[in-house]
Amino acid sequence: MSAALEAIEVKKRGGGLPEDMIRSVVAGYAAGEVPDYQMSALLMAIFTRGMVYEETLALTAAMADSGGRYSFPECVDKHSTGGIGDKISLTSLPIAAACGAPVAKLSGRGLGQTGGTVDKLEAIPGFTCDLSESSFRRQVEEVGLAIVEAGEVAPADKEIYALRDVTGTVDSLPLIGSSIVSKKAATGAGHLLYDVKCGSGAFMKTAAEARELAELLVRLSESLGIRASALITGMAEPLGAAVGNALELRESLALLRGEPVPEDLDHEARLVAARLLYLKGISDAEAAVDRAISSGAAYEKLREFVAAQGGEADALESLAVSEAVREVVAPEGGYVAGFDALSIGQAALVLGAGRERKTDAVDHSVGVEALVKVGEEIEAGQPVARLYGERRAEEAERLVKEALSLSSGKVEAPTAILDSL
């Protein structure tokens, strides 16, 4: 019997998969020897029966070993589980690098309503995340910040993730945990911070689910020799105001220049940067973060990083955004009780900021700017969002209107950071 068939037989009855069997199936699938139908059956068996920690760790290590492995033991990295308007990588990483914590980061593209750092950076003319290992390594040494697109490392995860996406097996804790950590282990940064998003615009909808994933990510990382910690952050409303590639870059630049940005974004970006510095053993991290922003060092680091990856740093001052702008206004007055992240992400998606299918092209110039935050008191007719772009603009407007819920009584502004470990 083949290892794949044996694994299906064991797992469908709720048994444990031995490490050598997991390695054999993963290697066989990456080599094209295990057919999709057997891998799909095994993934569904894992989805329904689960895996104990040792199996999840073996799966993580097998996927991490399926391609080339980098090693950056001195570097820090962060990973977000994905959200709407999430520009924490664009902001916290230049800050951390400017404070002396080198960053070697693997990033992905957006899929569905969640954005991806690679797409956002590609709003800068000339910018590329397609770096060879030697250029990536040289840039980490010379600039202290490099971002490469996921793909070369952990190729088994890439194949398995694509299969999960079409077989209803994405939302499984051991499969999500092993997928994320295999890529991080293969990239080889020595210090990792996970930002587990929680709320309508995130994978994890409840605080309990988010905590469970955060614990798994940290435990897997530490078992593989990576110092790790995690934050659980809110994703019930978009982070900051901007949702969409060039718009998010503009907001990130404002933060790095020390200009006013929404409080949730400012707080979270500074906190993540400080946590990365502490992971690296840099003391008095909050003060270092403040200095990096007020002195202009963080903004300069971003420009240096952009130029090193082929981007026109001067173009950062004038990123193109769509001239087709329409405002959505509040139908009545009251306190903002909710501005649903998922619906706003969908509005940006239909305007063209993201992909409904992997092969779709992204329009970097479109998106949504949220003009209100939960807890604010607003008047009837007050603009609550600005839409950039013409494609399916009526539908986007409807989605933004549906996202807004109002209350006649006072509403507490939510905290950006829900939990930490």
Annotated catalytic residues are: 79, 157, 164, 179, 183
Query: CA–CA separation, 145 vs 153, rounded Å?
Result: 18
Query: CA–CA separation, 275 vs 273, rounded Å?
Result: 5
Residue closer to ligand URA, measured from CB, 67 or 334: 67
Tell whether residue 161 is a contact of ligand URA (CB under 6 A).
Answer: yes
Q: Binding to ligand URA (CB under 6 A): which residues in 67-126?
A: 81
Tell whether residue 42 is a contact of ligand URA (CB under 6 A).
Answer: no
Tell whether residue 47 is a contact of ligand URA (CB under 6 A).
Answer: no
Shortest distance (Å) from residue 18 CB to ligand URA: 23
Q: Compute how many residues bind ligand URA; rule: CB under 6 A.
A: 6
223, 19 Cβ separation under 8 angstroms = no
Shortest distance (Å) from residue 167 CB to ligand URA: 13
Shortest distance (Å) from residue 160 CB to ligand URA: 9
Instruction: Identify the helix (H) or strand (E) that includes residue 191.
Output: strand 189-198
| DSSP-assigned beta bridge partners for residue 193 | 78, 229
Query: What residue is closest to ligand URA based on CB?
Result: 179
Residue closer to ligand URA, measured from CB, 186 or 246: 186
Shortest distance (Å) from residue 233 CB to ligand URA: 15
Residue closer to ligand URA, measured from CB, 38 or 81: 81
Residue closer to ligand URA, measured from CB, 116 or 238: 116
Residue closer to ligand URA, measured from CB, 175 or 249: 175
- Comparing CA positions, the residue from 264, 262, 299, 269 lying closest to residue 286 is 269
Shortest distance (Å) from residue 137 CB to ligand URA: 23
Which x/- pattern over 163-182 shows residues binding ligand URA (rule: CB under 6 A)? ------------xx--xx--
Which x/- pattern over 282-321 shows residues binding ligand URA (rule: CB under 6 A)? ----------------------------------------
Query: CA–CA separation, 121 vs 319, rounded Å?
Result: 11
Residue closer to ligand URA, measured from CB, 22 or 180: 180
- Comparing CA positions, the residue from 227, 292, 178 lying closest to residue 75 is 227
Q: Where are the alpha helices (H) located in 313-392, listed in sequence order? A: 341-351
**Which residues, 6+ apart, have CB-to-CB distance to 78 below 8 Å?**
88, 89, 92, 93, 105, 192, 193, 194, 195, 272, 276
Q: Which H, E and C letters describe 60-107, residue by residue?
A: HHHHHCCCECCCEEEEEEEEECCCCCCCHHHHHHHHHHHCCCCEEEEE
**Which residues, 6+ apart, have CB-to-CB distance to 306 below 8 Å?**
121, 124, 127, 312, 313, 316
State which amino acid sits at residue 58. Answer: A
Shortest distance (Å) from residue 230 CB to ligand URA: 14
| Residue ranges that bind ligand URA, judged by CB under 6 A | 81, 161, 175-176, 179-180
